[in-house]
Amino acid sequence: MNIKEFSTRIGVSPTTTSSAITGNGRISKATRQMVLQKMRELGYTPNLNARRLVSGRSYMVALSHVDQKAASDLFTMQVARAIVGPLKEFGYDLWLNLAPDSMQEYSLLRQLVKSSTIDGTIIISDWSVPKKLLRDVASRNQPCVVIGEKLIDDIPFVGSVMLNLKPGALEVARLFAAQGHKRIGFIDSDLRDRVFEYFADALKKLGTPINKKHYVAAGRDTEEGARALRRLMSQPNPPTAIFARTDVLAIGAIREARNMGLSIPQNLSVVGHDDLSILPLAEPGLTTVRIDCTELAKAAAEMLSGLLRNPDTDPEPKVISTSLVMRQTAAPTPRAAD
């Protein structure tokens, strides 16, 4: 079945069908949803090569990360999975570009843009994306959306989905203070963000400043979380509560705490960050800071699609905040530690 036959069968013009598939053109949302639903019902799949020849577009969007370790980062992979659906709603497929590339000055991403292999780019950043890179990859025909903690608002054809990490960190600080914890630890990852800064500032204002000996710089995997926990708990006055920068580090810390004969949360409270989809497998349920990956992915896909349709628009930045999710790994301080 070609596009003309499909359109005749559902009672619309081929132009309307094409607009519904690509997300371009002036058709109502209801009409577009009807066409897409009929495509699913009738099993119609448009000829991608024909679409590319007619439109001059590839209908591919690259998802890149400025961090060389992104491919091993579960949060990044969760965002990647979440973004596939929204992109397909706008007629685009995802090119996952997470290979270590920064040492070659992002050569692969620049090559994808230069060759017109992609129509646009979504970049995930821990903190700051080099502005030269954004100017190189973003243009009228190939816009870019940045997901990161820092707002991007001064580069043409670049949209910004800002991740506000402060609210979740403040909630963890308030939780530990309300539960009576005085000795509080932090297991950091090698992500370049301000979570620890927010957390430490909040604790100081609450009258429970964090001891520098209770801060451990770790990495990303569970073993590094376990090593950090051993280091913290080997001190003369170890923490009674620990905030880990990622859920993976928190899970490693909890596993090691159990190996040391500690009960969670009776002897030690642990809070993670990110709310990964793997957490239903954790026992007990991990109290953590949630980043809504579905909302994040939808916002980025909608913004990029809007720039592809109307490149001269200046999209309003979207802010996604974090929040604390209470489960079973945080409790009031043990009396013996008072």
Q: 201: domain CATH number?
A: 3.40.50.2300
Report the percentage of the chain scoring pLDDT > 70: 89
Instruction: Measure the CA–CA gap between 287 and 181, rounded to whole angstroms.
Output: 16
Q: Which residues form the domain of 134?
A: 56-164+292-321
Contacts of 322 (CB under 8 A, 6+ apart): 163, 164, 165, 166, 167, 168, 169, 273, 289, 290, 291
- Please tell me the pTM assigned to this model: 0.80
Q: Indicate whether 48 and 110 sit together in one domain.
A: no
Q: Indicate whether 247 and 302 sit together in one domain.
A: no
Report the percentage of the chain scoring pLDDT > 90: 51
Other Cβ atoms within 10 Å of 105 Cβ, number: 12
Burial 245-274 (b: 16+ CB within 10 A, else e): bbbbbbbbbbbbbeeeebebbebbbbbbbb
Q: What does the pLDDT read at residue 96? A: 83
Q: Which of 34, 54, 74 is the last residue of a domain?
A: 54
Q: Indicate whether 233 and 271 sit together in one domain.
A: yes
pLDDT digit string (tens) for 167-218? 999 999 999 999 999 999 999 998 878 999 999 999 999 999 999 999 999 9
**Structural domain tally of the chain?**
3
Average pLDDT over residues 124-149: 87
| Under 8 Å between Cβ of 244 and 250 | yes
pLDDT digit string (tens) for 47-82? 655 555 455 677 889 898 876 555 457 788 888 889
Q: What does the pLDDT read at residue 11? A: 92
336 has a pLDDT exceeding 50: no
Q: Indicate whether 183 and 282 sit together in one domain.
A: yes
- Look at 104-113, 124-133, 258-267 and tell me which has the smallest mean pLDDT: 104-113
103 has a pLDDT exceeding 70: no
Q: Indicate whether 220 and 124 sit together in one domain.
A: no
